[in-house]
Amino acid sequence: MNLVALIFIGVAVLFIIGIKFLSSPKTARYGNLIAAAGMIIAFFALHKGTGESVWTQGWSFNYTLIVIAIVLGLIAGAVGAYMVKMTAMPQMVALFNGLGGGAAALVASLEFNRGAGGLEPVAASITVPMLFATVIGSLSFAGSIIAYLKLEGKFEKPHTFPGQNFLNGLILLVILGLCGWLTINAVGGNALRGFIVLFVLALFFGVAMVMPIGGADMPVVISLLNSFTGLAVAADGFAINNLAMIVAGTLVGSSGTLLTLLMCRAMNRPVTNVLFGAFGSAGGSKAASGGVAGTVKPIQADEAALLLAYAQRVVVVPGYGMAVAQAQHQVRELSDELGKRGVEVQFAIHPVAGRMPGHMNVLLAEANVPYDQLIEMEQINPSMDRVDVCLVIGANDVVNPAAREEKTSPIYGMPIIEADRCKCTIVMKRSMAAGFAGIENLLFYKDNTRMLFGDAKASLNALIAAVKAN
């Protein structure tokens, strides 16, 4: 047993502890730092497949390139990580994941290119992981870029056409067939040409896979692509004989797969439904099937402020609209104002509110909302009928009673925050437009619901002023 092997056992342990710590709120931040420490150690202990250290062989032009590339990546990563607004975090994760996938595909391509240029036939135990890393890596790259663009709002609606799943299946078959052929014929010019076709097809498949998926399901897709990239990295580890990459990639691949399933469970949707269902376009009736009963009743800020100021218990349900309007600080201010008047204020957090699980927690924490005021959906639902005023800020699908009442609704069965059971519900919204799932919200038509139209930030400022004046 040599020193390098010992170091890499240590690194693997650091990664495992890191992921473990990341799954508990108290230790999460240390978990991230521990994993980062593991990465730094692995960097200095980096060795080639043949066993010699990368850092002790002579310096060459290639090393200058390595340093320049690392610095460029560091700058890009740091700018991305620190400049991005809190609301755009999910996109950033998607983008970084895509880059990782792209890197995995490129590493495998280089290795394949080298093998194809040689005279010796390459062993299948090397070629298969290389092809796997190429296909999954470029799929993850293209898919993540599309996910990024979707979350940036570049494609508003899911793109679907008849026979889409059939076409995707056909492409997948061609990819598999090509992989089989390349495994047997991995040397020579034809192999290289076939490989380029494979690369392009995998990129196209990544686009075709994510394009039809609606925005509400994007977190699940990013999580899935994240675990894909992990597997591609592990396959690269097999191809270039690097144990650290195998272990780290596999850990991410399997924990990412489980995380994807957990996310689907939080939305009460099977993962196949997410991937092939095209949420929000093909998902059954858009409006409630029997027509919507009731009328929309608008309310002005002054009246809403009165309701809030003289309530005993207020529950705020934040959603993506709050994130878009960057209104979390105003929400905190309003909550403080009400608190001063003796109103009990709580925040009801739906697990998938916003564009990512935990999105609301992060935003409200940024605005210094005390942790104990954030109540998870399961805890708050039983006491919802004792709430005087429920203030829904930019949330839509996560409070839609159709999930309970409308069997034909695409979101039927999804757990929701039961805002409709409160004595009075005020919904702050820009317009009557449907939510991300593209379906009508029955809550807006209930008798005890009032709509406060306008930009969330502006409306909240008006509410704060009016509460202060009372």
Partner 1 sequence: MDPNILFIFILAIFVGFEVISKVPSMLHTPLMSGTNAIHGIILFGGILVLADAGTRLEEALGFVAVIFGSANVFGGFMVTDRMLQMFKKKK
Least separation, in Å, of the C-beta of 162 and partner 1?
33
- Cβ distance to partner 1 smaller for residue 267 or 437: 267
Residues touching partner 1, count (CB under 8 A):
114
| Phi and psi angles of residue 182, each rounded to the nearest 5 degrees, phi first | -65, -30
The answer to whether the CB of 55 falls within 8 A of the CB of 46 is: yes
Q: Which residue, among 134, 230, 227, has the nearest Cα to 175 in the 3D structure? A: 134
Q: Tell me the torsion sign for CA atoms 160, 165, 170, 174.
A: positive
Stretch that binds partner 1, among 104-112, 310-318, 337-345, 453-461 (CB under 8 A): 104-112
- Cβ distance to partner 1 smaller for residue 197 or 262: 262
- Among candidate residues 302, 397, 420, 447, the one labeled active-site is 397
The answer to whether the CB of 164 falls within 8 A of the CB of 128 is: no
Residue among 115, 158, 351, 410 that touches partner 1 (CB under 8 A):
351
Which amino acid, one-letter code, is at 308?
Answer: L
Query: Under 8 Å CB-to-CB from 92, ≥6 apart: which residues?
Result: 80, 81, 84
Residue among 176, 196, 197, 258 that touches partner 1 (CB under 8 A):
258
- The structure tokens listed for 298 are 């608008």
Query: What is the C-alpha separation between 224 and 243, in angstroms, rounded?
Result: 23
Least separation, in Å, of the C-beta of 244 and partner 1?
6
- Cβ distance to partner 1 smaller for residue 104 or 308: 104
Query: What is the C-alpha separation between 86 and 366, in angstroms, rounded?
Result: 9
What is the 8-class DSSP label of residue 26?
Answer: T
Least separation, in Å, of the C-beta of 285 and partner 1?
29
Least separation, in Å, of the C-beta of 266 and partner 1?
5
- The structure tokens listed for 75 are 């700058």
Binding pattern to partner 1, positions 34-73, x when CB under 8 A? -xx--x--xx--x-xx----x--x----xx-xx-xxxxxx
Residue among 87, 109, 330, 409 that touches partner 1 (CB under 8 A):
109
Which amino acid, one-letter code, is at 387?
Answer: V
For the purposes of burial, counting CB atoms within 10 Å of the CB of 135, is it exposed (0-12), middle (13-18) or buried (19 or more)?
Answer: buried
- Cβ distance to partner 1 smaller for residue 43 or 310: 43
459 binds partner 1 (CB under 8 A): no
32 binds partner 1 (CB under 8 A): yes
Least separation, in Å, of the C-beta of 82 and partner 1?
7
370 binds partner 1 (CB under 8 A): yes
Stretch that binds partner 1, among 81-89, 150-158, 296-304, 461-469 (CB under 8 A): 81-89
Query: What is the C-alpha separation between 238 and 234, in angstroms, rounded?
Result: 7
Least separation, in Å, of the C-beta of 238 and partner 1?
7
Instruction: Please report where in the chains the tokens 């020579």 appear, as a residue.
Output: 188
Q: CA dist 449 to 315, 323, 402, 428, 463, Å?
A: 14, 22, 15, 11, 17
Query: Under 8 Å CB-to-CB from 458, ≥6 apart: which residues?
Result: none
- Cβ distance to partner 1 smaller for residue 218 or 402: 218
Which amino acid, one-letter code, is at 429?
Answer: K
Q: Which residue, among 54, 31, 59, 30, has the nearest Cα to 42 in the 3D structure? A: 54
Binding pattern to partner 1, positions 175-214, x when CB under 8 A? ----------------------------------------
| Residues in 263-282 at the binding interface with partner 1, rule: CB under 8 A | 263, 266
Binding pattern to partner 1, positions 213-252, x when CB under 8 A? ------x--xx--xx-xx-xxx-xxx-x-xxxxxxxxxxx
Least separation, in Å, of the C-beta of 87 and partner 1?
12
- Cβ distance to partner 1 smaller for residue 6 or 36: 36
Query: What is the C-alpha separation between 289 and 408, in angstroms, rounded?
Result: 7
- Cβ distance to partner 1 smaller for residue 93 or 380: 93
**Is residue 346 within a helix (H) or strand (E), and if so which, with residue range?**
strand 344-349
Active site annotation includes 372: no
Least separation, in Å, of the C-beta of 97 and partner 1?
5
Query: Under 8 Å CB-to-CB from 71, ≥6 apart: which residues?
Result: none
Q: Which residues are catalytic?
A: 397
